[in-house]
Amino acid sequence: MTVTIASQPMHSLRDLLVVQLNELYASEVHSESVLPKLADAAASSKLSEAIRGHLAETKVHISRLDRVFGEIGSKPKKTETHGAKGILDDCTATATKSRMDPQVRDAAIIAVVQRLEHDEIAGYGCARTWTNLLGHQTAASELMKTLTEERRFDEMLSRLAETLNKSALEPATAGSR
């Protein structure tokens, strides 16, 4: 079941936390179906492996969110925001573009996945802070683990981009000579 943000009450910080956690849950669940497509579309084996590794982490993130929901006394609902859905749709579109140089596609995959990661980093950062303020230390700790993994993956993508983006530049440079 997907619900909209407008249908959820937000009268307290706890309500806001539940909305944020639902958005993160929806993003992680949706990512489970999109990340394999991106891994398959990647020309670089290192990029493909990094994405597949993050897919495994994504499954752990969903399990952690289930535990967080349990601690705060709520149940997850897939509350997909327009922004997250748009980013995930962009991921799918990038993965399925057939008329794209493979190295350019890799650069595009990195860019769109980093947009997704930055959205999740912001969401997990807020949720961790709010759970901590609301006295849910175990939940805050669980969210911090995920936040750390999201940041680590983003940094890995940045390191890969330093090399792979140069490969994307070469065909364009060679064609303009």
Question: How large is the C-alpha radius of gyration of the chain?
Answer: 18
Written as one letter, the residue type at 88 is L
Q: What's the token pair of residue 152?
A: 């680590």
DSSP 53-106: HHHHHHHHHHHHHHHHHHHHT----B---HHHHHHHHHHHHHHH-SSS-HHHHH
Domain extents in the chain: 5-175
Conformation bin of residue 99: beta by default, left when phi > 0, alpha when psi is -120 to 50: beta
**Tens of pLDDT, residues 124-169:** 999 999 999 999 999 999 999 999 999 999 999 999 999 888 887 7
The residue ranking higher by pLDDT, 2 or 39, is 39
Cβ neighbors of 148 (< 8 A, separation 6 or more) are none
How far are the Cα atoms of 69, 83, 153 from residue 131, in angstroms, in the given order? 11, 23, 23
Q: How high is the pLDDT of residue 177? A: 37
Of 16-25, 68-77, 95-104, 118-127, least confident by mean pLDDT is 95-104
CATH of domain 5-175: 1.20.1260.10
Summarize the confidence of residues 45-56 as an average pLDDT.
Answer: 97
Q: What percent of the chain has pLDDT over 70?
A: 89
